[in-house]
Amino acid sequence: MIRDALIEALRDALVVLGVDPIPELINIEQPARREHGDWSSNVALATAKKAGRNPRELAQQLAEHLTANPPAHVRQVDIAGPGFVNFHLDPSWLHAVLAIVVAEGTAGYARPDLNAGSTGRVNVEFVSANPTGPLHPGHGRNACYGDSLARLLTRCGFDVSREYYLNDRGVQMDKFAQSLLARKKGEDVPEDGYRGQYIIDWSAEMPADADPGEWGEARAIADHRAVLGAMGIEFDAWFSERSLVDSGAIDATLADLRASGHVYDDGGAVWLRTTDFGDDKDRVLVKSTGEFTYVLPDIAYHRDKFGRGFDRLIDVWGADHHGYVARMKAALQILGHDPDEFHVALTQFVTLLRDGVEVKISKRTGDLVELRDLIDEVGADAARLTFLLQSADTQQGFDLAKVAAQGMENPVFYVQMAHARLHAIGRKAAEVGVARQPIDAVDLSLLVHEREIEILRTLAELPDVVALACRERAPHKIATWVRDLAGTVHGFHHDCYVISDQTPPPLTQARLWLVDAAIVGLAIGLDLLGVSAPDAL
RNA sequence: GCCCUCGUAGCUCAGGGGAUAGAGCGUCGGCCUCCGGAGCCGAAUGCGGGCGUUCGAAUCGCCCCGAGGGCACCA
């Protein structure tokens, strides 16, 4: 691609000029302002001091050398500001991008291989809600983030397994079972039991002879699976905490931890000295009553995941769990794992609004708006795009009324409309009997309208955007890019008629390939977000 | 008190140490003989505050202010 070619040319030029070419300092980027060229490098600024050179002079010499030895597509190289080297390219570089997008298609374009060397097996654990009730909107954000991250990792060459951890034993499950049983008998739930309306509904479904714990768990899992499925999210593994007890993995984990020498007994409890590895206090593994805390099964679970051959574990947790990161990293280190192979992505809270007014929890009944209700109200596509349009690092206000609106408050229409319009052009071409010519036979150099160039420039960015979004675990960067591309498509649609009396046939042919390429871009982006790309709305 | 995330336009949010900080909504003003006007074009308003690092800071560091979350032998 052009980026590599320009970086190589810069490196060669530095060598010729007698400057040590430090790879990390040879940067190239697309400047914000067009008069600064199509691509720009700050390498002269970055290396001048170390090389004992004047930055502007070095830039001038680089520009002269590159002008004398221009890389492909480069029309002019000049310098500006304190010492930027600016490349002005012939539009042919974008026509080359178009040919690549068409040739590689949805499956092959923008598929950077970020998996260097290892087996690339990555486990992404997300949602992992307790099987004691329905999913809530906050789970929706976690689910969309985790799924989209998994899609990004897959596209970037990793072998990804999506996993859901079920806390299907312990006091929460007991309370849940007792609450179901009480409602079944027509009694009030216990003092600290679950009070939601769903307990009443579910207990009515429950057969009289069912084991409430087992039945309730199955009922909750079925609910989670159905709601997530409605958003197009499926898991490769549903991992049961109880299975860790049954398999002896918890005892084995405790034995491993003891063998490490970082375990001690105090006050009748068994402690793990996580403070040796950066935690702010030691953690209890086994209470003085002899019961496990939740910490021990969690450690056993992550030990199990590493034991299954994953190079890397990514957990997606709600922001309220951030305090657990240090203890889990410490525990995994004690077990001999590299803490950098375990990463926790935190998603900040979602506040549900309706027309700007917060939708409050009912304290009396314990009822919230369920994720299921949210999807029913706004639709799966709008829900996913809205969750993913914003960085997971910021709190999100999710306004049901705005997201459900069939208007411009809702970006999903803007994006899907762009995709549908492109397909409408294809349908129109077929309808009026335009015979498509193979791309090799088409003169792509006719694509020089600013609207056409915009689309191509945006498409050219996609491989970098995908790689960056994956590295930074930031699927929202894909959402932003998709919206940008949709904007360029609408502009093109408005100003550049593909099928028209005023459009010469060769231009129609070139524009039809541009349309195909834009479809590829939107399809890749929407797929990474898990948002559908309908041909018509 | 300590830890995490955040503070950018009236609102919701983008913004990889680069050059004159962007988009949508909302407001105001334009554009429907042609592929879907659910669209396009134009105008106005901004980096919470301070000090540093740097040739260059919305971006990195420290302090202050503000918002949310977390600091159990609960999960």
Q: In this predicted complex, what is the ipTM?
A: 0.94
pLDDT digits (tens, 9 = 90+) for A483-497: 999 999 999 999 999
pLDDT digits (tens, 9 = 90+) for A321-377: 999 999 999 999 999 999 999 999 999 999 998 888 888 766 555 566 899 999 998
HSE at residue A5, side-chain half, CA atoms within 13 A, is 13
Angstrom distance, A486 CA to B4 C1' = 35
CA distances to A250, A281, A469 from A295, rounded to whole Å, are 11, 13, 32
| E-strand stretches of A8-127 | 39-41, 74-80, 84-89, 121-125
Angle between helix axes A55-68 and A2-16 (nearest 10 degrees) is: 110
Covered bases, chain B (protein CB within 7 Å)? 2-7, 12-16, 18-26, 34-41, 55-56, 68-75
- A402: pLDDT strictly greater than 90: no
Using DSSP's 3-state secondary structure scheme, residue A347 falls into strand
Q: Across A79-83, A202-206, A375-379, which has the greatest mean pLDDT?
A: A202-206
C1'-nearest nucleotide to the CA of A512: B35
- A1: pLDDT strictly greater than 90: no
Q: What is the CA radius of gyration of chain A?
A: 28
Angstrom distance, A297 CA to B60 C1' = 39
Angstrom distance, A312 CA to B9 C1' = 41
Q: In this predicted structure, what is the pLDDT of residue A438? A: 97
The pTM (predicted TM-score) of the whole model is 0.95
User: How many residues are there in chain A?
Assistant: 537
Supply the DSSP symbol for A503: S
